[in-house]
Structure 1
Amino acid sequence: MKTQAVMAAAIASTLVMSTATQAQDRSGWPESFTVGTASQGGTYFAYGSGWANFVAENLGVSGGAEITGGPMQNMALVHTGDLMFGLTTLGPARESLEGNSPLAPGMKMDNVCAMFPMYETPFSITALASSGITSISDIPDGATIGFGPAGSTSDTYFPRMMETLGVKFERRNGSWSDLGGQLQDGLIDVVAFAAGIPIPAVSQLEVQTKVNIIGMTDEEVKKITEAFPVSEFTIPASTYQSLDAPSRVVSMWNFAMVNCDVPESFVYEVTKLTMENNDKMVSIHKAARNSVPENYSKNNVLPWHPGAARWFNEHGYTIDASMIKQ
């Protein structure tokens, strides 16, 4: 009995020391955090809002999402420290890192670090079924196309893609939910979406009216992948009610990012929570099926935050020291 009592006391002492150590590890942690997302009606807002709440509830730090103009603006806000976390696609991230952001020409946004992989952003086109537009080549000259918020991934790349494919159009910007409403009301002809699937605005649209979700031909995919930092992607038919077969498009990877000055221990715990609970992430948004550690290798643009890199390296996902922010 005495031996058991001694062992129990030793275990209790160890737990107290462990708890004290954890408390010390929280030194420098923020009292709150904000995640830069994008417009309402898009995947970034749904994913980012849910993820912020998940982190806040589990780590005991107040957090929430902020509506922004998307990846380009998120890069700028995280770089300056106005936001702690943000979501971005790697194309806009590269342009911002190199000082080519249209929001701040010449400013190299190099105080932004990668934290974990999110999902691929497919570039897809939606039109009303009543328009008769069933392919990109059907889009008439002078058609008004909604490209999402100014500075978003879609707005940055989709107009150039359409020009590459010979489409002549009038450009319209706005939130995804607003553009979906304009499409339904006949105020614009097409919406060119770049967002994780299923896109809330498209799901809402097809409940209210008949739509065509337009894919790309072999030739169109070839032209686009040769000209832009994207790869071929297939939207499963089960994604939308309006699809009766898989839709072939192109896509670009998204990563969660963090200001590089955020404490390592905090970023480690955020990364750990996210990467070790994919079932919870998928319940936030189905696009999170791809928010798994194996996809860390898709990042060839941003340096890794030391806290995130520590978690990946501890779990067998090797991140070279040269790719970790010093």
Structure 2
Amino acid sequence: MKTNAFAKFTVVATATALTTGMAFAEAHADREGWPESFTVGTASQGGTYFAYGSGWANLVAEELGLSGSGEVTGGPMQNMALVHTGEAQFGMTTMGPAAESLAGTNPIAPGLQMTNACAMFPMYQTPFSITALSSSGITSVSEIPEGARIGFGPAGSTSDTYFPRMMEELGVVFERRNGGWSDLGGQLQDGLLDVIAFAAGVPVPAVSQLEVQTDINIIEFTEEEQAQILEAFPVSQFDIAPSTYTTLEEPARSVSMWNFAIANCDLPESFVYAVVDIVMSDNERMVNVHRAAASTLPENWDRNTVMMWHPGAARWFEENAGADIPDDMIHGDM
């Protein structure tokens, strides 16, 4: 893993933030073993993970009076590896890559069961959405021409892991391309790609930027295509609301996969409890970070059916959300 190549965006708590967060900090006075700084593994710039992850890193840093940072990474698969090894204290992943990482089939480190990455809090659902330029004439999956150049996001991302398989399941024959979200959006606009197939929280910044600059088609699945994908992959039914993009006039049929924030399982219980408290206790503040956080709600704790819970996170949800988390799903409680 070339972690030294990651662009690192550090947010240092200011004196103002220290004053603002003083009451909160006093409520979490037990700081034994807490790190002086932390990083959150996100994904590429132009994607939802980067905006969302950098936002909550900033929020937690300010409230706790710590130095916090968001790292540009390869996305969920790499975040599982970084958090498992402790190279990043926190990260974000989706249920599919989490399950593969726990099973030892993460392509970053085949055979390594990444069991030291623990669930921390629910984030949002990642819809799988397809975009083409209106000038292409592509308005449905069946109209994607044979050999189309399709951008699937960064290598190893949720999008790159699952969307090519979905397209193959639907009989699409394509050339696979990878890159950051913003870069692929630019390639589509420049005619270097025919389609972009993104799995990311909506609105995807790169798609929002595209529709300001040119006319695009956001392509939904047919009922039959959706049913076929639901049968074949660990995803849920999802509609992209028309308010998400100005291009949409009615809901767009899609599928989605849940995202969770993750923590290194060895982090102090009191530290993770404090972080979860900041993120989960004020949803309006999180929605200001990114609109996808509308689903960052305590009642969605049960969307994790894959990972062990960090003890600090489990305690927060048990105390504040009425969660009934089995002991054998809490790290260290087995």
TMscore range, shorter length: over 0.9
Change in CA separation of 1:265 and 1:99 when aligned onto 2, cut-off 3 Å: same
Distance 1:166 1:311, change over 3 A: same
Alignment identity in percent? 70
CA distance in 1, matches of 2:26, 2:180: 45
- Aligned equivalent of 1:14: none
Residue 154 of structure 1 and its aligned partner are, at CA, apart by 0.3
1:204 positional shift: 0.2
Q: Which residue number in structure 2 is paired with residue 227 of structure 1? A: 232
Residue in 1 that maps onto 2:246: 241
1: CA distance, partners of 2:24 / 2:140: 60
Give structure 2 stretches of 5+ with no counterpart.
Answer: 1-22
Aligned positions of 1:145-294 closer than 5 A: 145-294=150-299
Pairwise CA distance, 1:226:
0.4
| Cα shift at 1:66 | 0.2
In structure 2, the partner of 1:127 is 132
CA deviations 1:43-86 (Å, max 9, x no partner) are 00000001100000001111010000000000000000000000
- Which amino acid in structure 1 is aligned with residue 157 of structure 2? S
Residue 224 of structure 1 deviates from its aligned partner by: 0.3
> If the length of structure 1 is used for normalisation, what is the TM-score?
0.93
Note the alpha carbon deviations across 1:123-182, whole angstroms, 9 max, x for none.
000000000000000100000000000000000000000000000000000000000000
Distance 2:82 2:145 in 1: 38
1:240-295 deviation digits (Å, cap 9, x = unpaired): 01111110000000000000000100000001111101110000000000000100
Equivalent residue, structure 1, for 2:325: 319
Instruction: Report the alpha carbon displacement of residue 233 of structure 1 after superposing the two structures with TM.
Output: 0.2
RMSD: 1.4
Give 1:19 deviation, angstroms: 11
Q: How many Å separate the matches in 2 of 1:243 and 1:279? A: 25
Name which one, 1 or 2, has greater alpha-carbon Rg.
1
- Contact 2:220/2:252, CA 8 A, preserved across alignment: yes
Could you tell me which residue of structure 1 aligns to residue 50 of structure 2? 45
How far does residue 319 in structure 1 lie from its aligned partner after superposition? Answer: 1.3
Q: Which amino acid aligns with 1:137?
A: S
Please identify which structure carries the higher helix content.
1
Residue 317 of structure 1: how far off its partner (Å): 1.7
| Equivalent of residue 41 in structure 2, options 5, 19, 36 | 36
- CA–CA distance in structure 1, aligned partners of residues 319 and 107 of structure 2: 38
Q: Secondary structure at the match of 1:27?
A: coil
Counterpart amino acid of residue 40 in structure 1: Q
Give the residue type in structure 2 aligned to 1:240.
Answer: Y
- Structure 1 segments unaligned to the other structure (5+ residues): 1-17
Question: What amino acid maps onto 1:219 in structure 2?
Answer: E
Q: Please say if residues 153 and 181 of structure 2, whose CA atoms lie closer than 8 Å, have aligned partners that are also in contact.
A: yes
